[in-house]
Amino acid sequence: AMSPDVAFPSPPLSPAEKYCLVTWCLITIVIGAMGNSVICLATRSSPLRMDPVSRILIRNIALCDMGLIVFGCYPVLVSVILEQDRFPWGTSACYVFNYLRSPFQLASLLLICSLHVYKLVNVTYPLRALGRTRQSGVILATLIWLVPTPLLPIQLLINPRDVAYNPRVFMCLFSFTDTVWRKLRPVIALCLIAVPNVVVLCTTISLMVVAKRV
């Protein structure tokens, strides 16, 4: 992996590729910002017929999407427009954007996973859902946000400079070059990525089966 302050040569984008990427980023930023803002406002509305825990989880998912727009999509847009072989805002910002983007990615996946599980539990045991309050949702969301937290200090302790700007995806990424990651990376990927995705898939199928029975 190369340091963010070292040029990383890459083939230039064709005009068609550049226009497609810029268009995609602009659409994602505009629709994402507007859509998630509406979701945050709607879930705060008391007349909305939705249990408080689901409201909290959906609102936090929207906040995660906003964070990914700021620390993920927006830098990509600027990098594509400038077509630089370095991160547009310099080395320090490259580290900051990389380390701040990861918690939003992991929290978003875990929140979506939790929302699916919560929906399935509510459908299976509807009477138990009546006793859950907004405080229950806040506690659940807080615990979910705490799950990705140890990943940052682990990365910093192993090698805080193991970050490189990859011009092929126009992002600063953690490189996982140290040998210790050969053992840790599969475990982290299994626990924080593979398992939640499998849970989402299984709960979605279960919800469809329950819906058909009703």
Find out whether 73 and 25 touch, Cβ atoms under 8 Å.
Answer: yes
Residue 46 tokens read as 């008391």
Alpha-carbon span 85 to 4, nearest angstrom? 9
> Can you give the pLDDT at residue 45?
66
Residue 186 tokens read as 């599969």
Minimal CA–CA distance to 104: which of 152, 156, 56? 152
Type of residue numbered 202? C
Per-residue confidence of the chain (214 residues) as pLDDT tens digits? 445 544 445 566 778 888 888 999 999 999 999 999 998 888 876 555 778 898 999 999 999 999 999 999 999 899 888 877 788 888 888 888 988 898 999 899 999 999 999 999 888 887 777 777 888 889 999 999 998 888 888 888 888 888 888 877 888 888 888 888 888 888 888 887 888 889 999 999 998 888 887 6
Alpha-carbon span 94 to 92, nearest angstrom? 5
* pTM exceeds 0.75 for this model: yes
Torsional class of 45: left (φ above 0), alpha (ψ -120 to 50), beta (otherwise): beta
Alpha-carbon span 93 to 73, nearest angstrom? 15
Question: How do residues 24-62 score in pLDDT, each as one tens digit?
Answer: 999 999 999 999 999 888 887 655 577 889 899 999 999
**8-state DSSP, 69:** I
* Residue 90 Cα to chain centre, angstroms: 23
